[in-house]
């Protein structure tokens, strides 16, 4: 496939790319979008999706072909939208050959319960090899920069490992999360507003969101209604109507009050999408709870993890985040989002109330 080049007239200046948060993240894009991204004319190796500068991605998919060389694995990964080649370099530990231990003293130390560094290193090598040596049909997660080699897109893996997902919990969580990322981030073009001097300016919506977030943090607000914080955004609304010339009729537009309500609505929606706030009960009386300060929610999540970790099913690895989310929605509130739960879990873990046993699994001490 011939790589597409970005039109220089449409490409944002490279010095502004860092203002887009997606530029610093591993973008969880579909494979079909990765192979169709346009490449930068300013800096080779940088690609654009909806004007978002991207150079590293995060992909989860099934291995559909494989090749192994002395220094690397080459896996074809299919995420359901397309197939992309992933170049996965072997570590020195993986390339080392297994050398049987011949020293009787070392074996006897191990038999008596002593620490045998050679045997432990061999166990580590075997464990790493089992996670990085995949067969066709197995699930692979790979993260790394995107490259174009021989007019084909591929991922130069910085991290890759086999995902054990017997009940498809990881894949289901992935399929729920990625469309939301597209809706909230990737499908919204990166637009940079400039002020009179040509410098970058923050949009009113970003200012409104930051204003509300700072207020909730500084005042330790636990709950609020929209009219409680509406006045905070008043300075962001221009009350100066545009003057019409003598031969022009005034153009009807939204009033300052309507603009304020719309700005507040959009800012609150962003805070909900990021999990900063949530509505425990959706009713005409709009009450928003601040996730980080809602002690009842923190206690409910902690109790669920403590109780369910005692069950035989979760005793070894702990409770998966999707199980905790389902239990919270059943026992506490249907409106708790995954983003809000992640903030609660992070807070509980920082306070040493819970511990993460592995990726997205939690238990109590």
Residues 25 and 160 grouped into a single domain: yes
Query: What span, in angstroms and rounded, lies between the C-alpha atoms of 61 and 65?
Result: 12
pLDDT band with cut points at 50, 70 and 90 for residue 316: confident
Same domain? 136 vs 13:
yes
Band (9; pLDDT cuts 50, 70, 90): low
In this structure, is residue 50 part of a structural domain? yes
- Closest C-alpha to 173, from 277, 308, 326: 326
Average pLDDT over residues 53-59: 95
- Taking the C-alpha atoms of residue 220 and residue 293, their distance in angstroms, rounded to an integer, is 7
| 184 and 313 belong to one structural domain | no
Please give the Cα distance from 307 to 314 (Å, whole number). 10
Query: In the structure encoding, which two tokens stand for residue 344, read together?
Result: 């609660």
How much is the pLDDT for 191?
Answer: 64
Measure Cα distances from 59 to 102, 131, 155, 288 in Å.
43, 16, 9, 35
Same domain, 37 and 181: yes
pLDDT mean over 316-334: 92
Q: What would the pLDDT profile of 215-243 be if each residue is shown by its tens digit?
A: 998 888 999 999 999 999 988 886 444 44
Do 150 and 298 lie in a common domain?
A: no
- Do 169 and 50 reside in the same domain of the chain? yes
How many domains would you assign to the chain?
2
Structural domain includes residue 225: no
Does residue 56 sit in helix, strand or coil? strand
pLDDT at 314: 87
Of the candidates 141, 172, 196, which is a domain's last residue? 196
Q: What is the mean pLDDT of residues 139-147?
A: 94
Reply yes or no on whether the pLDDT at 63 is more than 60.
yes
Per residue in 14-53, pLDDT tens?
A: 888 888 889 999 999 999 999 999 998 888 889 999 889 9
45 within a domain of the structure (yes/no) = yes
Band (1; pLDDT cuts 50, 70, 90): very low
Provide the pLDDT for residue 28: 96
Summarize pLDDT for 273-309 with one digit per residue, the tens. 989 999 999 888 899 999 999 999 999 999 999 999 9
Domain containing residue 139: CATH number: 2.40.50.140
Q: Among residues 173, 90, 82, which one has the least CA distance to residue 134?
A: 90
| Tokens describing residue 238 | 């221009």
* 65: in domain: yes
Q: Find the domain containing 351 and state its range.
A: 294-364
Note whether residue 284 is domain-resident.
no
Sorting pLDDT into bands at 50, 70 and 90, what band is 11?
Answer: confident
Which domain-ending residue is among 142, 172, 196?
Answer: 196
Q: Cβ contacts of residue 25 below 8 Å, gap of 6+?
A: 56
Cα 88 → chain centroid: 22
Does the residue 244 lie in any domain? no
Residue 179 counted as domain residue: yes
Q: What is the DSSP string of 242-255?
A: PPPPTTSPPPP---
* 277 three-class SS: strand
Which pLDDT score, from 0 to 100, does residue 300 have? 95
Res. 3 pLDDT band, cuts 50 70 90:
low
Pair 274, 291: CB distance under 8 Å? no
Q: What is the pLDDT of residue 105?
A: 44
How do residues 80-119 score in pLDDT, each as one tens digit? 999 999 998 887 656 555 444 444 444 445 545 678 888 8
Instruction: Kindly report each contact of residues 78-84 with a partner whose C-beta sits within 8 Å and lies 24 or more positions away, as own/partner.
Output: 78/31, 79/30, 79/31, 81/30, 81/31, 81/32, 81/33, 82/30, 82/31, 82/32, 82/34, 82/35, 83/31, 84/31, 84/34, 84/35, 84/59, 84/153, 84/154, 84/155
25, 161: one domain: yes
Q: What are phi and psi of 46, to 5 degrees?
A: -105, 135
Which pair of tokens denotes residue 315?
Answer: 């005793």
Q: Tell me if residue 24 falls in helix, strand or coil.
A: helix
User: Residue 50 burial by CB count (10 A; 0-12/13-18/19+): exposed, middle or buried?
Assistant: middle
Is residue 86 a contact partner of residue 142, using CB atoms and an 8 Å limit? yes
If one compares 6 and 266, the residue with the highest pLDDT of the two is 266
Domain-terminating residue out of 154, 178, 196: 196
Assess whether 183 and 63 both reside in one domain.
Answer: yes
Whether 268 has a pLDDT exceeding 80, the answer reads yes
DSSP 136-202: TT-EEEEEEEEEEETTEEEEEESEEEE---TT-HHHHHHHHHHHHHIIIIITS----EE-TTS-EE-
Residue 351: inside a domain: yes
Task: Provide CB contacts within 8 A for 162, sequence distance 6+.
Answer: 130, 131, 132, 133, 134, 138, 139, 140
The CATH number for 340's domain is 1.10.10.10
């Amino acid at each position: 496939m011939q790589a597409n080049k970005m039109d220089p007239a449409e490409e944002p200046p490279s010095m502004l790319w860092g203002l887009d948060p997606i530029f610093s993240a591993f973008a969880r894009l579909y494979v079909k979008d990765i192979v169709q991204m346009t490449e930068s004319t300013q800096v080779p190796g940088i690609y654009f999706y909806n004007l978002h500068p991207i150079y590293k991605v995060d992909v989860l998919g099934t291995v559909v072909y494989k090749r192994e060389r002395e220094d690397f694995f080459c896996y074809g990964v299919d995420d359901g939208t397309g197939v992309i080649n992933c170049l996965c370099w072997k570590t020195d530990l993986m390339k080392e050959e297994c050398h049987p231990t011949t020293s009787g003293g070392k074996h006897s130390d191990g038999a008596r319960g002593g620490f045998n560094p050679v045997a432990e290193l061999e166990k580590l090598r075997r464990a790493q090899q089992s996670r990085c040596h995949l067969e066709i049909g197995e699930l692979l997660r790979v993260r790394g920069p995107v490259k174009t080699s021989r007019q084909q897109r591929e991922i130069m893996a910085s991290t890759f490992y086999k995902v054990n997902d017997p009940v498809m919990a990881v894949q289901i969580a992935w399929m729920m999360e990625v469309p939301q990322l597209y809706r909230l981030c990737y499908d919204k073009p990166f637009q940079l507003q400039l002020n009179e001097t040509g410098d970058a300016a923050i949009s009113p919506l970003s200012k409104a969101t930051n204003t509300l977030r700072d207020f909730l943090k500084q005042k330790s607000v636990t709950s609020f209604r929209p009219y409680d914080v509406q006045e905070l955004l008043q300075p962001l609304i221009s009350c100066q109507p545009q003057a019409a010339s003598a031969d022009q009729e005034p153009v009807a537009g939204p009033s300052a009050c309507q603009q304020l309500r719309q700005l507040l609505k959009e800012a609150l929606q962003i805070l909900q999408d990021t999990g900063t706030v949530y509505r425990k009960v959706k009713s005409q009386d709009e009450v928003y709870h601040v996730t980080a300060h809602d002690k009842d929610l923190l206690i409910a999540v902690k109790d669920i993890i403590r109780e369910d970790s005692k069950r035989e099913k979760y005793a070894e690895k702990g409770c998966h985040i999707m199980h905790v989310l389902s239990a919270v929605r059943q026992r506490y509130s249907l409106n708790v989002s995954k983003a809000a739960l992640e903030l609660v879990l992070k807070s509980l873990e920082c306070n040493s109330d819970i511990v993460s046993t592995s990726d997205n699994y939690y238990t109590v001490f």
